[in-house]
Amino acid sequence: MAQHKSAKKRIRRNARAEVTNHARMGRIRSYVKAVETAITANDKTGALAALKKVMPELMRGASKGVVHKKTVARKLSRLSARIKKIAA
């Protein structure tokens, strides 16, 4: 158990950050899932609309350090490639 004042404060800060980061990841997963369900339903316009919603969430996650920026780039690239394959 932490004894120093700064270590105790760090534990409290980590606990708050964990809650925030967990919520942010959940939101990202929800938006990505919306894109994937639109892709599986062959709904190109719906998938593009969902992709426009997921982009800022992923970028925000990368800027906050929740997700690595290359992971974001890879996810966006793969999602857009899958949307591109849907017949118009």
How do residues 17-32 score in pLDDT, each as one tens digit? 999 999 999 999 999 9
Residue 2 is predicted with a pLDDT of: 84
Q: Does residue 67 contact residue 28 with C-beta atoms inside 8 Å?
A: yes
Stated pTM of the model: 0.84
Taking only the tens place, the pLDDT of each residue in 42-57 is 999 999 999 999 999 9
Residue 38 is predicted with a pLDDT of: 96
Contacts of 46 (CB under 8 A, 6+ apart): 38
CATH superfamily of 5-85: Ribosomal protein S20 (1.20.58.110)
Residue 64 is predicted with a pLDDT of: 94
